[in-house]
């Protein structure tokens, strides 16, 4: 599975950052397992309709590619649960 995470928005655009692409096979087993558990369509899809109101909000663009299929989600930071935000921070950390 390959996950790409990009951010946009924030006050004055300070929430905007370059996209980070991570091949889960390159991660330690415990992080890979957490990503496979947390970054599922069942958990991400319902979040796309929540918390997007207001100016200067940070939005995450998350793409997940697996088995020849890519799913894309645009999710407001305020809609993401803490465990997912922590995992995004881990995955998007500089190499």
Burial status of residue 65 (CB atoms within 10 A of its CB: 0-12, 13-18, 19 or more): middle
Is pLDDT above 80 for 77? yes
CA 76 remoteness from chain centre: 10
pTM: 0.85
Is pLDDT above 90 for 58? no
**Averaged confidence pLDDT in the chain:** 87
Question: Could you please report the per-residue DSSP string of the chain?
Answer: -EEEEEEEESGGGTT-EEEEEEEGGGS-HHHHHHHHHHS-HHHHGGGGGSS--STT-EEEEEEEEETTEEEEEEEEGGGS-HHHHHHHHHHHS--
Span 2-9, average pLDDT: 91
């Amino acid at each position: 599975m390959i996950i790409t995470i990009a951010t946009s928005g924030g006050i004055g655009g300070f929430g905007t950052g370059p996209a980070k692409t991570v091949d889960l096979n390159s991660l330690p087993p415990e992080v890979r397992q957490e990503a496979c558990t947390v970054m599922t369509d069942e958990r991400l899809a319902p979040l796309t309709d929540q918390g997007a109101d207001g100016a200067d909000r940070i939005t995450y663009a998350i793409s997940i590619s697996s088995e020849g299929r890519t799913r894309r989600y645009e999710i407001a930071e305020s809609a993401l649960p803490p465990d997912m935000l922590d995992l995004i921070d881990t995955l998007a950390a500089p190499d």
